[in-house]
Amino acid sequence: MSPPEVVLWQQLRGRPHGFKFRRQHPAGPFVADFFCAEAKLAVEVDGSGHEAGDQPAHDARRDAFFASHGVKVLRISALDVMHDIEAALRTVISEASARCPLHHAPHGPPPPVGEDEVGAAAILPGTGRGTAAGGGGVAARAARMQARG
């Protein structure tokens, strides 16, 4: 790994905002510098070598390969990583978040009790029944028990 990749990896390995990244992730004939499966996001740290020789054509083939598999490639300049790692990290997390609108950090609060129970077909633990099959949430069960007397 290049020095800018090491600097970015030191940030990504801590699972910022709950996103898990892999480094040097193989994908077909290519290897992504970093990859987040949940966001289908490949992050490439581009140094000056990406502008020389046949590298732009190689990068275009890599981008097309990833795009054909639903993966977005985010390219970040190595200079940007070295000069402002916080801004580079914000860019990566912003893109990952945009690709996972329902993602929340693991340290965030759980959904309010009962919010997803009304009209949902959520499986109740241990019953194998969904709310549509009469399972219901805690409030629904309490109402049925009270009605029975």
30 and 57 share a domain? yes
Q: What is the pLDDT of residues 112-126, one digit of tens each?
A: 665 544 433 333 344
Amino acid at 36: C
Whole-number pLDDT of residue 41: 96
User: Residue 28 sits in which domain range?
Assistant: 3-99
The token pair that represents 41 in the structure block: 């996001």
Number of domains observed in the structure of the chain: 2
Going 87 to 89 to 16 to 109, the CA torsion angle's sign is positive
134 found inside a domain: yes
107 found inside a domain: no
* Among the ranges given (25-34, 62-71, 81-90, 139-148), the one the predictor scored with the smallest mean pLDDT: 139-148
Q: What is the pTM (predicted TM-score) of this model?
A: 0.64
51 and 121 share a domain? no
Whole-number pLDDT of residue 143: 58
Whole-number pLDDT of residue 68: 93
Coil, strand or helix: which one is 10? helix
Residue 83 has phi, psi (to 5 degrees) of -85, -30
Residue 127 has pLDDT above 60, yes or no: no
The token pair that represents 69 in the structure block: 């598999």
CATH code where residue 18 lies: 3.40.960.10
Residue 83 has pLDDT above 90, yes or no: yes
66 and 92 share a domain? yes
20 and 75 share a domain? yes
Amino acid at 10: Q
79 and 123 share a domain? no
Average pLDDT over every residue of 99-122:
57
Residue 78, classified by CB atoms within 10 Å of its CB into exposed (0-12), middle (13-18) or buried (19+), is: buried
